[in-house]
Structure 1
Amino acid sequence: MGYSRESENMTTELLSRGFMLSWFASNCSPCNSSGGKCGFDFESSYFQCYCSDRPHANICGLKGKSRTPSAGKSRTLAAGIAATVAGIGFIVVILYCLRKRSIIFFWKEHNKTQQNVEAFLRDYEPLRVKRYSYLNVKKMTNSFKIKLGRGGFGDVYKGELDDGSLVAVKVLNQTKGEDGQEFINEVATISGTSHVNVVTLFGFCFERDKRALIYEFMPNGSLEKFIFDENAAETRHRLNWETNYQISLGIARGLEYLHSGCNTRILHFDIKPHNILLDVEFVPKISDFGLAKICKREESVISSTMGPRGTAGYIAPEVFSKNFGGISYKSDVYSYGMMILEMVGGRKNINVRVDNTSEIYFPHWVYKRLELDEELQLERIRDEEDRVRVRKMIITSLWCIQTDPSSRPTMSKVIEMLEGSLDSLQVPPKPFLYSPPRSPPAESSG
């Protein structure tokens, strides 16, 4: 028999609403008047008048078991009651079996996840991070009092360790069918890293279905708010070009470390402004490794069976279609390039709010001006040094988002391009797959 949670819920709902039973019973007045008690004999399927000497057909004192006109009706009633009782019993048994099967199914799934994560934690011992209980997590966050933000895999809360250190605590979501892989990815990747441009993991909690990750606290939050805040000029969120340049360089160094500075190569697969955190000095830290993949350093291309991963607008072409090449660390390079172009433009690369159709897709717009050697007309460029920084960021980014992965630079080369002379940089071929069609603002997803 097929089983689904929907069918169980439907049956339960029907029973919980209740139902009405009605039947015709024999007139028990004559029996009661004769001093007997009216009852039902399951063996004969007749209503009987139970007297002091023995059961009678209708009233006490009659000889034998005469069948009165009400006997047929009584038999019908008996059959109806018996069928109803049997039906209810059958439904109860079915519900019990379904619920038991459901409990066993979900217990097995939960137990499998528990075993997967515990096996991982054993294999990676001794970890360089501390394991906390869920009670500790509640204590350090003051029962999750201050919420810092929301990510793809959970909410982030402000916390404080016993030594007074401030932390950001990410409480992971529990999604249907989730096997603990996001948790394993984060702990496996970050626990073995140590770099100024990669966020530090202080500890974790894994207690049945309660999972949390404890990171160093970043006072300035994510890079996202400094790029896309439309009121940034008034709220002083806009960063000057020196700071933007240093942030782009710091992110490049963090990615270079992940790609070639660790014992194993770590591919992030979700580089975007939201996942770049800034400390009090605006030093960038790469965070959120829920989609990361660890591979051998000698592996140039990884399996494409892992399925598309990342965020729309930053995903490299080869990640969603093998026609563009193999998936590798060059996929992170593409995401990095798209993100830096958004830093330069101070907006999403696709912007439906502008009036000029040619200015909708910022990479097209900026490439055209580089080709014609026109002024970029960007805000806050104060002097020649700012102009040089911006041009280096743009040219480097355009190389990073080349359609062919083999045409993209490594992150080591990206650092060299950013730190080198502007005169040594060549404008790359036009790297774009297409010019996105213009959509009305009402249809835009933002």
Structure 2
Amino acid sequence: MASSLSSSLPCPLFFLFLLCNTSLLLVVGGLNSEGTALISFKAGIRDDPAGSLRNWNSSDQDPCSWNGITCRGGSVAALSLPKKKLVGYLSSALGSLRSLRHVNLRNNRLFGSLPASLFAARQLQSLVLYGNFLSGSLPPEIGELLYLQSLDLSGNLFAGPIPSSLIHCKRLKALVLSHNNFTGSLPLGFGGSLAELEKLDLSYNGFSGPIPTDVGNLTNLQGTLGLSHNRFSGSIPPSLGNLPETVYIDLTYNNLSGPVPQNGALENRGPTAFIGNPGLCGPPLKNSCPPEVPSSNPFRPINYSPPALEGNSTHSGSSSSRLSNAAVIAFVASDVVGIGLIALVFFYFYCKAIASVGAKEDGETSEKRPKGRKECMCFRKEDSETSPDSIEHHELVSLDRNVPFDLDELLKASAFVLGKSGIGIVYKVVLDDGLTLAVRTLGEGGSQRFKEFQTEVEAIGKVRHPNIVTLRAYYWSINEKLLIYDYIPNGNLSAMIHGKTGTRNSTPLSWEVRLKIMKGIAKGLAFLHEISPKKYVHGDLKPNNVLLGPDVEPYISDFGVGHLANIAGGSPFLQSDRIAVEKIQGQHSDVAFGPIMSKGSGYQAPEASMMLKPSQKWDVYSFGVILLELISSRSPLVLLDTVEMDLVSWFHLCIEEKKPLSDVLDPFLAQELDTEDEIIAVLKIALVCVQANPEKRPSMRHVTDTLERLINRN
């Protein structure tokens, strides 16, 4: 029939008919344009040992079912293939994906340059390429990504200067370019234009020139400002003092010179942030500034000069002489008064010694009196142990043989406030040798309970685990009680999930990092419950009490602090609460308790409001809430229309209404489709942990084993 049809049609019309039918077949059965662009990306991959691109077939109508691809409204929104050992180059065809918002190709083996045409995908919000072998310069077309929020190119071989167009990406929250070969100075207007930045790491590059003064405008920064291991020169801008005090400003190993400013966030910093800059001087460094260098103290007049450096006029000389004579007289007078006071003290104790000896000793000869005086002035061991709680203690007690500091070093160290609570204030303290500690105050009072405090604090000090903050030492006096811990540098889990108070959320956490945090908390809690010297109950487990180390490893903090604060006289409890807790602790001395959680915190087990005795099952419930929080990135108290409900109730409501998983997930996790099975498995663990009946909740050992199997399976 086809032959008869062709013979009946003129030749041009036959070819037109054939062309139309062929086009129709392509539309019906062929791959769409986005899929074609992704096939071009696949063509640039030379090796795919994990078979991640195995189901990328050109026979499909669209790529939405392919591994690593997420679609929204039928268009490709995300390409996520992290840690797949892909070897190849980036295809420029990716720029034709007009709805592409997220690209995550971290920790692969991609090489070659970053194609400028990639930035034709103007909707890009995150571009994560760290841990590859990409090289060349950063194309100026990056400035056209007006919606870009996260750019991580760290751990590659990029070189050349940062294009000035980058400052047009005003929505950037995370800029991580560390461990590359970038050079040149930072673009003009860098800090002023990128004021939304919450994370900035430019360390381990070859950046040069002065640090822009407008970097001090980055008031949303969190964690560490990484400028170390570069070639920045000139003085440290005092404007860096405008940064939040909780930001660690790392300026090590540059070519900076001049005095270290002592204002705002730069004030009372330890020397560790400035080492490797031979030209820097002044506090907190040991090398003082030469006289001709003006002081960096913002409160001292510019024209101020010390008296010793003023002119040699007769008037100045006589004035200096009179000042010296007055000073000498004052010192002599103070010495005389001091010696007199010491003599009075000795005389007082001598009189007490004579009176205590009694009438018999009044008749003794003078050669026996020194013996009586010696017995009175020197405490015998048995005398000092009869009433230990009545003695004022003024010494730092080490709980670790390797503690390399004493009380004087601690009190003289640079310090600034990390946080305040009803229990006390926590300081970051940097010693002269660079050792950084966290010091918590516990208030005043409690002079009659030293023995109880000593027993409890030494038991806590014996707890050693990689996921628990270590208590290194303590100090006790009537007016001050201090707990000295290891300093954990990356803030707490709450800030990592939600951002600090008053700011937008921080850079989203990958599922891999979240799983690592979950596993670490579970291990630490299981250790407290079953393996530690005492069977502890934390009692106040929440993200604020989970600190994060340099590699985002979790550390449980503040267990036992509530009880210590109660003993020390600085307890945040009401008197009735304090009596109740003391009564419980007297009845159950084999368990150590943390502070009771406030009602309505969202982490409190349902039975906690009806029982005085804390239980390890309380901690299991709190851990379950933390899992739900890590999965959803929602606060523990959810506002639903005008009704506030806790996170557990909200999850149960979503399950009853059969909402899809994407409705409860953190939107960032929706990009990692290859982790969906793991997320569902962890969600099941969380829901078991937050069961209303405490007897149905698993032990933390069981939870840890389950998470371990989940992780080792992949």
Smaller-chain TM-score range? 0.5 to 0.7
Shift of 1:241: 1.8
Q: Deviations over 1:214-242 (max 9, x none)?
A: 11111101111122328999664432221
The answer to whether structure 1 residue 365 and structure 2 residue 650 are counterparts is: yes
Select which of 526, 551, 557 maps to 1:281: 551
Shift of 1:193: 1.1
Query: Partners in 1 of 2:641 and 2:500 — Cα distance?
Result: 17
Greater relative contact order (CA < 8 Å, ≥ 6 in sequence): 1
The answer to whether structure 1 residue 374 and structure 2 residue 660 are counterparts is: yes
Q: Deviations over 1:372-404 (max 9, x none)?
A: 372232211222343233323322121112122
The corresponding residue for 1:128 is 400
The answer to whether structure 1 residue 411 and structure 2 residue 704 are counterparts is: no
The answer to whether structure 1 residue 215 and structure 2 residue 485 are counterparts is: yes
Shift of 1:405: 1.4
Task: Check whether the contact 1:186–1:288 (CA below 8 A) recurs between aligned residues.
Answer: no
3-state secondary structure, aligned to 1:332? helix
Select which of 369, 394, 406 maps to 2:683: 394
Shift of 1:192: 0.6
3-state secondary structure, aligned to 1:376? helix
CA 244–181 in structure 1, closer or farther in 2 if over 3 Å, else same = farther
Task: Check whether the contact 1:318–1:327 (CA below 8 A) recurs between aligned residues.
Answer: no
Gaps of 5+ in 2: 1-386, 565-584
Query: Partners in 2 of 1:347 and 1:164 — Cα distance?
Result: 38
Query: Partners in 2 of 1:234 and 1:368 — Cα distance?
Result: 27
Task: Check whether the contact 1:267–1:332 (CA below 8 A) recurs between aligned residues.
Answer: yes
Gaps of 5+ in 1: 1-113, 294-298, 425-446
Shift of 1:261: 1.4
CA 389–340 in structure 1, closer or farther in 2 if over 3 Å, else same = same
Shift of 1:167: 1.1
CA 366–307 in structure 1, closer or farther in 2 if over 3 Å, else same = closer
The answer to whether structure 1 residue 193 and structure 2 residue 463 are counterparts is: yes
The corresponding residue for 1:291 is 562
CA 211–339 in structure 1, closer or farther in 2 if over 3 Å, else same = same
CA 221–307 in structure 1, closer or farther in 2 if over 3 Å, else same = closer
The answer to whether structure 1 residue 269 and structure 2 residue 534 are counterparts is: no
3-state secondary structure, aligned to 1:173? coil
Query: Partners in 1 of 2:492 and 2:672 — Cα distance?
Result: 27
The corresponding residue for 1:99 is none
Select which of 314, 320, 339 maps to 2:626: 339
The corresponding residue for 1:328 is 615
Select which of 464, 476, 499 maps to 1:206: 476
Query: Partners in 2 of 1:330 and 1:164 — Cα distance?
Result: 41
State the AA in 2 paired with 1:362. L
The corresponding residue for 2:517 is 247
Task: Check whether the contact 2:497–2:505 (CA below 8 A) recurs between aligned residues.
Answer: no
Query: Partners in 2 of 1:172 and 1:206 — Cα distance?
Result: 10
Task: Check whether the contact 1:147–1:155 (CA below 8 A) recurs between aligned residues.
Answer: yes
3-state secondary structure, aligned to 2:637? coil
Query: Partners in 2 of 1:337 and 1:157 — Cα distance?
Result: 30
Once the two structures are superposed, the pairs formed by residues 46-445 of structure 1 within 5 Å of their partners are 115-116=388-389, 127-128=399-400, 135-140=408-413, 142=414, 144=415, 146-161=416-431, 163-174=433-444, 187-229=457-499, 236-289=506-559, 290-291=561-562, 302=588, 309-311=596-598, 312-322=601-611, 327-352=614-639, 354-355=640-641, 360-370=645-655, 372=658, 374-377=660-663, 378=665, 379-381=667-669, 382-420=671-709
CA 237–321 in structure 1, closer or farther in 2 if over 3 Å, else same = same
State the AA in 1 paired with 2:702. K
Query: Partners in 2 of 1:132 and 1:139 — Cα distance?
Result: 11
State the AA in 2 paired with 1:224. S
Query: Partners in 2 of 1:410 and 1:117 — Cα distance?
Result: 43
Query: Partners in 2 of 1:245 and 1:117 — Cα distance?
Result: 50
Query: Partners in 1 of 2:408 and 2:661 — Cα distance?
Result: 58
Query: Partners in 2 of 1:235 and 1:317 — Cα distance?
Result: 29
Scaled by the length of structure 1, the TM-score of the pair is 0.56
Query: Partners in 1 of 2:705 and 2:605 — Cα distance?
Result: 22
Shift of 1:360: 4.3
Shift of 1:326: 6.4
Shift of 1:183: 5.9
State the AA in 2 paired with 1:355. D
Query: Partners in 2 of 1:218 and 1:126 — Cα distance?
Result: 19
Q: Deviations over 1:303-359 (max 9, x none)?
A: 99x99812332222333314xx9642112111211222222232322222x4385x8
Q: Deviations over 1:136-160 (max 9, x none)?
A: 43212x2x4x211223421111112
State the AA in 2 paired with 1:346. S
Shift of 1:212: 1.3
CA 137–243 in structure 1, closer or farther in 2 if over 3 Å, else same = same
CA 243–367 in structure 1, closer or farther in 2 if over 3 Å, else same = same
**Aligned CA-pair RMSD:** 4.1
Query: Partners in 2 of 1:246 and 1:240 — Cα distance?
Result: 10
CA 128–286 in structure 1, closer or farther in 2 if over 3 Å, else same = same
CA 292–376 in structure 1, closer or farther in 2 if over 3 Å, else same = farther
3-state secondary structure, aligned to 2:419? strand
Q: Deviations over 1:16-72 (max 9, x none)?
A: xxxxxxxxxxxxxxxxxxxxxxxxxxxxxxxxxxxxxxxxxxxxxxxxxxxxxxxxx
3-state secondary structure, aligned to 1:266? strand
Larger Rg belongs to:
1
Query: Partners in 1 of 2:394 and 2:686 — Cα distance?
Result: 38
Query: Partners in 1 of 2:398 and 2:409 — Cα distance?
Result: 21
Query: Partners in 1 of 2:710 and 2:680 — Cα distance?
Result: 11
Shift of 1:170: 1.4
Moved more, 278-287 or 381-390: 381-390
Aligned residues: 294
